[in-house]
Structure 1
Amino acid sequence: MRTLGGSRAAVSPLGFGAATLGNLFAEVSDDDAHAAVDAAWAAGVRYFDTAPHYGLGLSERRLGAALRGRPRDTYTLSTKVGRLLEPGGSGGPDEGFAVPADRRRVWDFSADGVRRSVEDSLHRLGLDRIDVAYIHDADECADGGEQALREAYPALERLRSEGVIGAIGAGMNQVAPLERYLTETDADVVLCAGRYSLLDQRAGRSLLPEALRRGRSVVIGGVFNSGLLADPQPGATYDYKAAPVELLGRALRIKKIAEAHGVPLRAAALNFPFRHPAVASVLVGMRSAAEAADAAAMLAVDVPDELWGELREEGLLTP
């Protein structure tokens, strides 16, 4: 377990990314969702991440139910603020999640919105506290970035002082907005999705070194870049879109080199972020017991230094 920044929240190296429990892209049964959490727990996973956004609250409800009965001090749970769930959905299919759109998401980074979001999450999770609260996707909301820094972050500081949350973070897909949380706030952790992988090392240029200098932690999501680094083949996705031909070719070259060293590509992708000491945990989406067991097995693979060296020599990794 690794402590996040200056907080007391500690995470396991492998984290459970629970967007899958919100039926990300495809439906997951209640039984499979519960089995995925059980298998991850059996493999040593003690960090679980969710958000109201994931399946319009379904992920939080399922994760809370699956963790219920386990000693509360034995695991760390994070959720997010920035989107409130309001009545008045379209009634049709939800975009990105296989759930009925019976509610709508409303951006809200105000202090009142943050407090309400945390209260709603606690109700869905069935918990009395949240270990880590991330400001979620403020870079995607028009004017949300400044409001999040000006209002949402101070609101989370107040909730932390009240003991409702244990640590404060920001989670986004872009590097520059996350750097502001390292330089302009006392956030304990940043969650960077998709920008520190075998195909994209932008976070390594300044975000990770800045976190290390300031004693903060980084959680990495999207190590498979939404699928391309899990199984590179025509039709694979990169950042949730069809992968460009050039990136597919690059992924196939990395796969060939990794396998020449006896390392599955998934294992190389999962282990890569830990080469930087600022990285505390890597989140992986798991929608079944088999996927949870596979993720744990891939992280346990011993990756030789020679593999990383060859990838650098071939120009496939940033020095």
Structure 2
Amino acid sequence: MRTVELGRTGLRVSELGLGLASIGGMFAAVPQQQAVATIDRAWELGVRLFDTAPVYGYGLSEQRAGLALRGRPRGEFVLCSKVGRLIEPGGPDLQPIWAEPPPGIGPRLDYSYAATIRSFEASLERMGIDRIDVLHIHDPDLDFPTASTEAFRALAELRGRGTIRAISLGVNHAEVAARFLRATGVDGPDCILLAGRYTLLDQTGADELLPLCEQLGVAVLAAGVFQGGVLTETADGVPRGYARAPREILERIDRLRALCREYGVPLLAAAVQFPLRHPAVPAVVVGARTPREIAEVAAWHELEIPPEFWAALRSRL
């Protein structure tokens, strides 16, 4: 698998990264052996970028990431995690999407300087790994004033000491990341993990954020390329996901499917590769809960797509 420079960070990553929310039990429980096997299969396929977070299964994802990765040569992979939520007894910000949360603990939103340092140290302890390469401020829109000052100051200190290599944001809203970049200036984040806003179905990230990132040399990791599962559930025309998708989205998917049929391109291969065509996007991050799923995504990533398809897509978006 190809590796690329991650913007100005000095890190090299595989073009395909594995997001580890699913193995933390997002929407459905994942046995530990299966979770570790999924990461092992990703490694076999050449994936060297792994993204987790404390809130993913309330520590479960990070624990499993550690089990699978801490025996690997540390210089051969890039590990990302997040700050913004402390996992602690009685944490009140419970989310129903986690199928197997540890009993008695939960997340508490806190972007203060002290909590940011505590969160980072707790992540290292859960994973049993000596460092985190890229540390995202997770969902900074939930308390932008504190996230953009105290949390950012903590990460800047960690970066200055060489404890982390890069500061990043993990966001679902492109305008929030653009606001953060403007607020923190040239010494601000080195990366942005952008979920669902530069995809076949939603290019709002290209309105302001991606040009700004290109200008500043900030790398964008594109996540959510299947738009929360809507594309995977409708790619073959079987209406599993039709009930939860707006009509205009379904009509757009129909047009995309027709274009893909015209050029013999699997829709999901186009979804994985589309963000990589932007110069600000060196890599995509895609979740998987089984070895088979990550192998399928890797095959879509490696599939050769004719230039004529991309030209036709650009004219029809």
Alignment TM class, shorter chain as reference:
over 0.9
In the alignment, what sits opposite 1:57?
59
In 2, Cα distance between equivalents of 1:215 and 1:83: 28
Q: Within the alignment, does 1:290 sit opposite 2:295 as a pair?
A: no
Alignment partner of 1:312 out of 295, 311, 314: 314
In the alignment, what sits opposite 1:204?
206
In the alignment, what sits opposite 2:36?
34
In 1, Cα distance between equivalents of 2:204 and 2:155: 28
Identity %: 46
SS in 2 for 1:284: strand
Q: 1:74-89 alignment to 2 at 5 Å?
A: 74-88=76-90
Q: Which runs of 5+ in 1 are unaligned?
A: none
In 1, Cα distance between equivalents of 2:12 and 2:145: 29
Q: Which runs of 5+ in 2 are unaligned?
A: none
CA deviations over 1:138-196 (Å, ceiling 9, x no partner): 11x2xx11111111111101111222211100111001110123333321101110000
Q: 1:1-16 alignment to 2 at 5 Å?
A: 1-16=3-18
In 2, Cα distance between equivalents of 1:275 and 1:162: 34
In 2, Cα distance between equivalents of 1:39 and 1:274: 23
CA deviations over 1:216-242 (Å, ceiling 9, x no partner): 1100100000111223143417xxx92
Contact (CA 8 Å) 1:221, 1:284: kept in 2 or not?
yes
Q: Within the alignment, does 1:156 sit opposite 2:158 as a pair?
A: no
Give 2:99's aligned amino acid: A
Contact (CA 8 Å) 1:234, 1:248: kept in 2 or not?
no
Contact (CA 8 Å) 2:58, 2:87: kept in 1 or not?
yes
In 2, Cα distance between equivalents of 1:282 and 1:257: 22
In the alignment, what sits opposite 2:139?
137
Q: Give the superposition deviation at 1:89.
A: 5.6
Contact (CA 8 Å) 1:129, 1:163: kept in 2 or not?
no
Contact (CA 8 Å) 2:140, 2:148: kept in 1 or not?
no
In the alignment, what sits opposite 2:97?
96
Contact (CA 8 Å) 1:14, 1:296: kept in 2 or not?
yes
In the alignment, what sits opposite 1:179?
178
In the alignment, what sits opposite 1:274?
276
In 1, Cα distance between equivalents of 2:181 and 2:6: 13
Contact (CA 8 Å) 2:91, 2:108: kept in 1 or not?
no
SS in 2 for 1:279: coil
Contact (CA 8 Å) 1:135, 1:152: kept in 2 or not?
yes
Contact (CA 8 Å) 1:15, 1:283: kept in 2 or not?
yes
Contact (CA 8 Å) 2:233, 2:240: kept in 1 or not?
no
In 2, Cα distance between equivalents of 1:313 and 1:180: 30
Contact (CA 8 Å) 1:25, 1:97: kept in 2 or not?
yes
Q: Within the alignment, does 1:167 sit opposite 2:166 as a pair?
A: yes
CA RMSD of the aligned region, Å? 1.6
Give 2:108's aligned amino acid: V
SS in 2 for 1:219: strand
In 2, Cα distance between equivalents of 1:271 and 1:36: 21
Give 1:168's aligned amino acid: I
Contact (CA 8 Å) 1:9, 1:132: kept in 2 or not?
no
In 1, Cα distance between equivalents of 2:310 and 2:35: 35
CA deviations over 1:200-219 (Å, ceiling 9, x no partner): 00011221111111111100
In 1, Cα distance between equivalents of 2:157 and 2:231: 40
Q: Give the superposition deviation at 1:31.
A: 1.4
Give 2:150's aligned amino acid: E
